[in-house]
Amino acid sequence: MFCANEQMPLISSLDQLPKYQRELLEKGWTKDFHDKILPYINERNFAVLYSKNQASRPNSPVNVLVGLLIIKEILQLTDEELISSLLFDTRFQYALHTMDRPVQPVSINTLTNFRNRLTNYLETTGIDLIKLETEAMAERIAKQLNIDPKLMRMDSLMISSSCKKLSRIELVYSVNHCMIKTLAKLAPEAIPESCKGYLEKGHKNETIYRTRDTEAESKLITLFKQTEALYRAAIAAGEKVTYSKAFGILSRFIKEQTEPAEDDRLIPKPGKDISPESLQNPSDPDATYRRKYGANVGYVANIVNAYDGQNQIVTHYDLEPNTYSDQKFAKDTIRALSQNNGEDTNAENSANEKRILNVDGTYYSDELAEIAQTHGINLIPGQLTGVKPDSEKLGYDQFKVDEDAHQVKECPGGHSPDEAYYDVKGKSYTVKIAKEKCATCPLQDKCPMKQQKKQNVIRFSEKRYRTDQLRARMDTEEYRKLTNARAGVEGIPSVLRRRYRVDEMPIRGLVRVKVWFGFKIIALNFKSLVKGSRIMTKELVTYFYLVIKGLLKEMLGTTELYFT
């Protein structure tokens, strides 16, 4: 049964502490957590995790559970260290509002069960409760720090799975071994004779690590024959085996790694034909392969960051298999930001009213920029992918185009075209100009025209025209200031790796990694809150100092007696 932990004691045992102890307690991170994080955790959102039966046992306080898991990431503690600190450390009890409880309401099993509830709910419904809480908390922190959400920037980072990176021989062996262990439990009589060696001690080392390079190909073929035999044996054993997780992995592996021959044998595919989305390790079926700044087996996270001159906060994030592209993340982010705005912003609004989303070139495309515009977002790339245009030639943005009428009005040299038309299907412009006009034009050598018998012709796509317009804007000082600000978000991946150890999460599977990653983002934002609050407090003290100093000078004519 769900019960909210909304009752706070009117008189706290904190009041019983000596003054100097209270001051020490309130100087650290605990005061910010006590005042600005725990009271605002929306416990009602988590009611769906618990039974509606009024006769069932009440749940442990959800805000304490969520708060504990945030503190775990802030201080990088194990579950055992976390629970010990809650039991014996007054600072933890103060931060979590549990100082006045005779018994602390959380154990290690409670934490494990709560995380399992979160992952099961995410798997079942697709709703990530921790992500919802993280983004709601980020919005609140941004308001506390006076961060304008109209200035945003985005970056991604690879996250390694904790599973071992396997060679192809190791992968085949691991898949076979998983299937044999399942057969040994459910239908031991179905294990093929050729595969019983897997149950012997030392078989793995003998098969994999004592294989010469010259024997690798023949060994791989032998292992695939055993895979085929196991598949047939599992089907013969019936539903008690075919409904197992191991059989699902075996079936996926066969589909991804082999192709059938005419005699129904399974032939291994060439390595170059295997998809990066294929199985990398049976212990983490969701992990995929990608080569970006080195080979990575695991996931990719996307970070959206609101910022001002001093503070920054992660407002949105996502995590997917590492084959998920930056442009897909860009599209998802545009949709999420537009939903936060409530209604779509009219594309005719001025740029000052739009959100600015500062991105790397891999996030950008002309189509995505148009979609972003319709949602009141300016997509600002720091650079563009693809081949750079010839610097000796004029850009197509130099042509004067009536974009509403899709009509080229004037060439860079100021001449009106003799013929101009727009291809609706191909989305391209064609311009024809008399040779006599071009002959006297000072820009003739730089013009991208093509000489023909009767006229000179220029053809360019609408996409190329917009890209050249963007390249021209990228050379302005205002644009460079915007893109230079993106450097701040590029430090977040480093912090997540060094401080929050995202590559060392002791869990596997996309759903579990998403839940753990969400707590790390809250911890990162809490650090920003503490830092920003101290900056704001310092600025406020300085402001009042100057105000009081000015008043004293006005009243007394001097401030030397009062200020040094």
116 contact partners, CB below 8 Å, separation of at least 6: none
Query: Is residue 110 domain-shared with residue 185, that is, in the same domain?
Result: no
| Three-state DSSP state, 3 | coil
Q: Which two tokens stand for residue 20?
A: 């100097």
| Crossing angle between the packed helical segments 62-75 and 29-36, to the nearest 10 degrees | 150
Identify which of 346-360, 483-497, 517-531 has the greatest average pLDDT: 517-531
pLDDT in tens, 530-546: 888 766 555 545 545 55
Q: What is the CA radius of gyration of the chain?
A: 32
Contact 140, 39 (CB under 8 A): no
What average pLDDT does the segment 148-152 reach? 88
What average pLDDT does the segment 151-158 reach? 94
Distance CA 302, CA 319 (A): 6
441: left (phi over 0), alpha (psi -120 to 50) or beta: beta
- Domain presence at residue 100: yes
Please tell me the predicted confidence (pLDDT) of residue 537: 55
Distance CA 205, CA 318 (A): 39
Query: Is residue 98 domain-shared with residue 192, that is, in the same domain?
Result: no
* CA 396 and chain centroid, separation: 36
Measure Cα distances from 426 to 387, 405, 457 in Å. Answer: 21, 16, 17
CA angle at 258 for the pair 251 and 240, rounded to the nearest 5°: 15
What residues pair up with 297 in beta bridges, in sequence order?
289
Query: Is residue 64 domain-shared with residue 179, that is, in the same domain?
Result: no
Contact 411, 362 (CB under 8 A): no
What DSSP character marks residue 283?
T
- Domain presence at residue 419: yes
Distance CA 317, CA 453 (A): 57
State the pLDDT confidence band at 309, using cuts at 50, 70 and 90: confident
Query: Is residue 16 domain-shared with residue 83, that is, in the same domain?
Result: yes
Distance CA 37, CA 70 (A): 10
**List of E strands, 192-294:** 258-260, 266-268, 288-291
Full residue range of the structural domain in which residue 405 is found: 396-464
Distance CA 206, CA 413 (A): 77
Side chain identity, residue 276:
P
329 contact partners, CB below 8 Å, separation of at least 6: 154, 156, 302, 318, 320, 363
Query: Is residue 263 domain-shared with residue 181, that is, in the same domain?
Result: yes
Distance CA 14, CA 8 (A): 13
**List of E strands, 269-376:** 288-291, 295-307, 312-321, 355-359
State the pLDDT confidence band at 349, using cuts at 50, 70 and 90: very low
State the pLDDT confidence band at 295, using cuts at 50, 70 and 90: confident
Torsion sign, CA atoms 437, 438, 442, 448: positive
What average pLDDT does the segment 509-524 reach? 96
What average pLDDT does the segment 191-203 reach? 90
- Domain presence at residue 506: no
Query: Is residue 96 domain-shared with residue 179, that is, in the same domain?
Result: no
Among the residue ranges 112-126, 352-366, 401-415, the one predicted with the least confidence is 352-366
Domain end among 105, 127, 149:
127
Say if residue 49's pLDDT is above 90. yes
Please tell me the predicted confidence (pLDDT) of residue 383: 85
What average pLDDT does the segment 508-533 reach? 94
Query: Is residue 238 domain-shared with residue 122, that is, in the same domain?
Result: no
Query: Is residue 210 domain-shared with residue 120, that is, in the same domain?
Result: no
pTM listed for this prediction? 0.84
Say if residue 351's pLDDT is above 70. no
Please tell me the predicted confidence (pLDDT) of residue 59: 86
Domain end among 221, 245, 279:
279
Among the residue ranges 177-186, 333-342, 354-363, the one predicted with the least confidence is 333-342
Distance CA 212, CA 172 (A): 17
What average pLDDT does the segment 396-401 reach? 92
Query: Is residue 1 domain-shared with residue 123, that is, in the same domain?
Result: yes
Please tell me the predicted confidence (pLDDT) of residue 289: 92
Q: Single out the residue of 86, 51, 45 nearest to residue 69, CA to CA.
A: 86
For all residues of the chain together, what is the average pLDDT? 87
Domain end among 464, 480, 500:
464
- Domain presence at residue 562: no
Distance CA 106, CA 68 (A): 9
Say if residue 564's pLDDT is above 50. no
Pairing of strands 400-402, 419-423: unpaired
pLDDT in tens, 447-503: 988 888 888 999 999 989 988 999 888 888 888 888 888 888 889 999 999 999 999
Distance CA 36, CA 261 (A): 64
What average pLDDT does the segment 508-522 reach? 96
Per the document, the length of the chain is 564
What average pLDDT does the segment 348-361 reach? 72
Please tell me the predicted confidence (pLDDT) of residue 344: 44
- Domain presence at residue 113: yes
Say if residue 553's pLDDT is above 70. no
Q: Which two tokens stand for residue 368?
A: 């995505």
pLDDT in tens, 404-453: 888 999 999 999 999 999 999 989 999 999 988 888 899 988 998 888 88
Query: Is residue 121 domain-shared with residue 5, that is, in the same domain?
Result: yes
- Domain presence at residue 554: no
Q: Based on the structure, what is the number of domains in the chain?
A: 3
* CA 29 and chain centroid, separation: 27
Higher pLDDT, 148 or 346: 148
Helix residue spans in 304-365 (DSSP H): 326-340
Contact 114, 503 (CB under 8 A): no
- Domain presence at residue 353: no
| Three-state DSSP state, 341 | coil
- Domain presence at residue 518: no
Q: Single out the residue of 156, 70, 151 nearest to residue 493, CA to CA.
A: 156
pLDDT in tens, 82-99: 999 999 998 999 999 998
